[in-house]
Each structure stands twice: as structure tokens, then as C-alpha cells.
Amino acid sequence: MPKSKDLRAPAREPTPFAQLNAVLAPLVGEARALLGDNFIGAYLQGSFAVGDADRYSDCDFIIVIRRDLTPEELPPFQAMHAAIHEIPDNPWRNQLEGSYAPAEALRRWSTTPRDPPGEDRGEDWGDPGMSGAPARAYPFWYLDHGAKTLVRSEHDNSQVVRWCLREKGVVLAGPDPRELVDPVPAEALRAEIRHTMALCATLELEPMALAAWQVFWVGLYCRMLHTLTIGKVASKAAGLSWAQGALDPVWSGLIGRAKALRKGMAEAAHPADPDDVAATRAFVRYAIEWAEHRARTQAAIAQRLALARAGTPRFDPRGRGGPGRGQHAPPAFRPNGRGRRG
């Protein structure tokens, strides 16, 4: 438990945007009234917690509850979120995204229990908040960006969300989030990132039709590679800037265009450029290989250190026993997707 002097208290003005605060106030107030003794706390995670949020950012919230809501208890919450969508003259009314997370399930990530009581999900279930991904862990009641209704989704049941909430979460109401979420080890964060990278590729990076989605995928993979490297979650802007300097320069133009296009710009609603779509798919293949190569390199280093501690002779760094200097990043794929450079 954090020391009392370090406790994060509820923020009077949780964000720099008065209109967003005017949306968050009824969200927290109404949810608290509806939940009664079932309410534990309400928090912001995502960009408004880790940094670099702007006028066009999603506002990611987590409402922590003692026990999960049953489908029969859901109608007043659906009505509340629909009403928030009708707040007049407020652009933030449809930019909320978040979940109602049962405290026991939120404390640490686990695959058990997988399904809510009486809500068994079959093998054909596809997660509506994760592009149809199969069931893996407990699904919270989730509000997608722009949506009016809550659905079951594992979107926020992740190590990334837990890390953001525990380490950077903004308190809207309730106790310090460090009292609710166990520490997330860096290796657990990295393992989830590698899983997410592979899953998104399996789902074929859809949707991709609009420019906004194409740059989203570039930004997401840059951010994931950044997390793999530093073992913590930083902002999207930080991930893009890091990637532009750390990855093969062949991707600099693609990453630069992703940095320049913001969600609120008119160009974001235009059809994605076919060349950038092809380059994005090639970049994702490169990113996955980069991540796999990094994992192999780190495993080899760990093995060498373990052998050294045990008194076993080290591998010859000039031989085949381990990675040498300059071997961390794999050869880049060409942006046009025609394979590696020769």
C-alpha cells in the first residue's frame, strides 16, 4: 500500500478541458448513485493519465465495482450513457471509452474465471471491443469510443490498462488505485504486448479503410515496441518519436505521416492511401520480427548471465553462442511489402 503522503486524491479539475470535466461529473455522479454500495471508485487511464492528451483524444475511464453487474441490472446504466450522448453543445459527450471493472477481477490479470456467472461464451464468440478476438479472460461491461451502449468486452482487462491505472491513474472518486491493482511486472507487460502484436496481425489490421485507422495501426505498433523496450507504458506521441529515432530509417516517412495526422483533422476521414496501407502492413511484419528478435536476444543474455553466476564459462561473443553488437534489430522489410532488403 502506498504511503499516506503519496496517496492520490480525487482531482477537483481532472483534465485541462472544462467541457470534458462537465461530462465526467455526471458520469461519476450518476454511476455512483446507481451503484450505491457497489461503487468503489472512478478513474482515468490512457492518454489523460500517461500524458499527451489533446482535444481529440479518447477519454478512457475505469469504474471499479465490488461485484459485477448482471444483464438485468444494466438498463439504467445504458440509459445513463445514452443521456450523456445527448448533452448539448459538448464535443466530449461521445468521446468517453471505458469499463465497469469488478474489483476482484481487476486486481491482477488472470484467465480464470473466464466467463461471468450464467453468461458462458461459446467458441464462436467474438469480442465486440477487440475486432472479434476470441474469449480469453473475464469480460467487463465496456463502452466503446462513440458508443451509447455497454457490451461485454475484454478490451480493458489487460496488463497495459492495469499498469496505466496503478502507476498513472487520475482519481475521479475513491481510493488511490494502487490500493486496488497489484504491481504489473515489466515482463508481464512485455508478454502481453507480444501477444497483442500477433493478435492484431491475425485479425488482419482491420479496419483500415480510412486514413485515421491506417495511422492508428502505425502508432499502436510504435507504442508497443516502445513499451517492449522500456518496460512501461508511455504516451502515443512518445512512442512515435522514439520509433522514428530508434527503428530502421526506412520507416521514418511512414511514422512521420502518422505523427502529423490527428484524429480531428479533416484528412483523417479520407480514404487511406493505398501505398501507406501496404507500407503499414509491411511495417507490422517488421515490428513483429523486431519484437521476436528482441525476445530471443534478451533470453540469450539472461542465459549467459545465469551461467556466469553459476560459474559456467561464458559463450564466446565472437562465436555462435549469442548475439553480438548490432544484432538487436532484424533486417527491415521494404515499405512496399516485397520482403527484406538484400
Length of the chain: 342
- Predicted confidence band of residue 306 (pLDDT cuts 50, 70, 90): confident
Contact yes or no for 161/138 (Cβ under 8 A): no
Domain boundaries, the chain: 4-182, 188-309
Task: Using the predicted structure, report yes or no on whether residue 327 has a pLDDT greater than 50.
Answer: no
Paired sense of beta strands 140-143 and 39-45, if any: unpaired
- Looking at residue 6, its pLDDT comes to 66
Q: At what angle do helices 186-202 and 274-309 cross, to 10 degrees?
A: 150
Torsion over CA: 79, 84, 85, 86 (sign): positive
Contact yes or no for 205/264 (Cβ under 8 A): no
Q: What is the pTM of this model?
A: 0.86
Mean pLDDT of 97-125: 97
Contact yes or no for 279/216 (Cβ under 8 A): no
Residues 50-68: pLDDT tens digits?
A: 999 999 899 999 999 999 9
Q: In 3D, which of 220, 224, 167, 217 has the Cα closest to residue 191? A: 224
What is the rounded distance in angstroms from the CA atom of residue 68 to the CA atom of residue 101?
7
Q: Of the ranges 258-262, 305-309, 329-333, which one carries the lowest mean pLDDT score?
A: 329-333
Q: Where are the alpha helices (DSSP H) in the chain?
A: 18-35, 47-50, 75-84, 103-107, 159-168, 186-202, 211-230, 236-246, 252-260, 274-309
What is the DSSP code string of 257-286?
HHHH--TTSGGGGSBPPHHHHHHHHHHHHH
What is the rounded distance in angstroms from the CA atom of residue 291 to the CA atom of residue 38?
41
- Looking at residue 316, its pLDDT comes to 55
C-alpha cell at 200: 492484431
- Looking at residue 1, its pLDDT comes to 56
- Looking at residue 119, its pLDDT comes to 96
- Counting residues of the chain whose pLDDT is more than 90, the rounded percentage is 76
Task: Using the predicted structure, report yes or no on whether residue 337 has a pLDDT greater than 80.
Answer: no
DSSP letter, residue 328:
S
What is the rounded distance in angstroms from the CA atom of residue 325 to the CA atom of residue 3?
43
Q: At what angle do helices 211-230 and 236-246 cross, to 10 degrees?
A: 80
Contact yes or no for 60/182 (Cβ under 8 A): no
Question: Each residue of 232-256: b (16+ CB within 10 Å) or e?
Answer: ebbbbbbbbbbbbeebbebbeebbe
